[in-house]
Every structure is written in C-alpha cells, then in structure tokens.
Amino acid sequence: SMIVKQARTVDIALAAATCGYDAVYVDLEHAVISESDAAQICITAANIGVTPLVRVPGLSAAAITRILDAGALGVVAPHIESADEARGVVAAARFAPLGERSVAGSWPHFHYRTLPAAEVRRVLNAQTMVVCMLETPAAVARADEIAAVPGVDVLHIGSNDLCDALGIPGQFDHPDIARAYDTVVAACRRHGKTPGAGGLGGSLDVARAAIGQGIRFVTAGNDWAFMISAARQRASQLRQLDPEQFGSDQQGAV
C-alpha cells in the first residue's frame, strides 16, 4: 500500500495504479488532508481497481463511519491497545449483525444506484477492511486477544512508534522488533487474520526479513518520501554529468 500524506488530488490514485500498488492508504492521523480530499482519492481508487484505505485520526465512530460512507473501503485504526478498542472499531465499521454501523442514504461504492438494503449491507460488510495498528509493547503482548476479535482483518505493527516505545527509535532491524513481528504473525495465524507492518519502505533488507517472518500487509512508503527520493536522485545524476553538456551558460544549474 502507498501511504498518501501530501497529495490532495485524485491523480495520486492513478499514479499508485500505474506504479503497481494494490492500495492507497490516506493518512488523516499525521497529515492535514481534508476528509473531502480523502474521499475523492478513495472514490477514484475504487473505480480503477486500487483498494482505498484511510487511517483515521482517532477511534470515534463518527470519524470511522463518515470516511467509509464517503468512499473508503477500509479503515486503519491507530493506537489499538486492547480487544475492547478493536471491538469498538469493528462496531463502527460493520453493519449488524457484525457491528453497529449507522446507515447512510446513498453510496458512492455502488455509483449511487438504488439497491436492496440487505444486499448493500452484505457487500459492504464483506468488502470493508478493518486494520488495527499495534504500536506499543503492551499492544503487541495483547496481539492474540485483539486478533481473536470477529471483524478484525489485519493486525498492523506501527514500527516507527513501536521502536520509539521500546527506546530504539529508527532501529527497524533490532531483535526486539523481529520478536514483535513473530508475536503478531503467530497470533494472526491462530485466528485467520493477516499480519502487517509499516516502516519497511526505507530498507529492502528490513522488508525482506519481515516478509520472511510472515508479514503480508506492507505499507511501502509515502508519496512525499517517494518524491524527495526521486528528486534527490535526479539532481545527483545531473550534477555528475560533464558540465559542458549543459552549455557554458548553464554550468552548475539543476
């Protein structure tokens, strides 16, 4: 999944599809993208075969329901610490009998067609993803009980915050992080859920190791980091060229 932190237009969904991503993950926790812009990105993504996910800024039912009604097909719930918090997210994201999601009057997911109410609820319950982020040692220790909650699809380790909580900021290859991955992967296997992790986009070695441990839902970096990386690489490449190739009046200009 490509995390979206800076882009505000639907073009980022098209770019994600072109670049081979399965999903876009609009971050409303750490970015100031509006809900309206996030909804437009989600609707575009869904219509071109890219799964639209949104990391909500908190665990309120209003925040979860509003963005799902607007076009998202999944929520990433940050800072889940217990099974009770996971159950609250499921209640907001899924219709009865799985949850308590409030009913909107129309649905962009179905191109605003009028469909049987029972069919709409069945399809949205089946197609909406609930991702619970585990970002502290206490949350990882409770991975088994969180994975056991009906309606949770993915347990996703927030590696950046977990590293900070463990006192090893930025050390994604630390043995304590590997042990956390093992714990979450084992819990997911016991309960038929998908294990995930973020913070892997910066190092192929770290990503390879995590995938080897069983991590399957991977956030592969964000739009701004991709732009900075590519822009830095292009500037470096141009500066290494023979200055004469730029012409005498353009030497050093990039």
Q: Concatenate the DSSP letters of all residues of 35-51 into one string.
A: HHHHHHHHHHHHHTT-E
**Which is nearest to 38 in space by CA: 77, 81, 69?**
69
Query: What are residue 239's phi and psi, to 5 degrees?
Result: -70, -20
Q: What is the enclosing helix (H) or strand (E) of 196?
A: strand 194-197
pLDDT tens track for 2-26? 999 999 999 999 999 999 999 999 9
CA distance 195 to 143: 10
- In tens, the pLDDT along 114-134 reads 999 999 999 999 999 999 999
| Residue 101 scores a pLDDT above 80 | yes
The residue that leads in pLDDT, 51 or 220, is 51
Tokens of 123: 């399809």
Catalytic residues: 30
pLDDT of residue 252: 53
Report yes or no: 59 and 89 within 8 Å, Cβ to Cβ.
Answer: yes
Amino acid 106: pLDDT: 86
Sign, CA dihedral 181-203-76-133, equals positive
Per residue in 165-204, pLDDT tens?
A: 999 999 999 999 999 999 999 999 999 999 999 988 778 8
**Which contiguous run of DSSP H or E holds residue 13?**
helix 11-18
Q: In this predicted model, what pLDDT tens digit does every residue of 62-76 receive, in sequence order?
A: 999 999 999 999 999
Distances, alpha carbon 92 to alpha carbons 66, 110, 176, 235, 237, in Å: 10, 20, 33, 47, 49
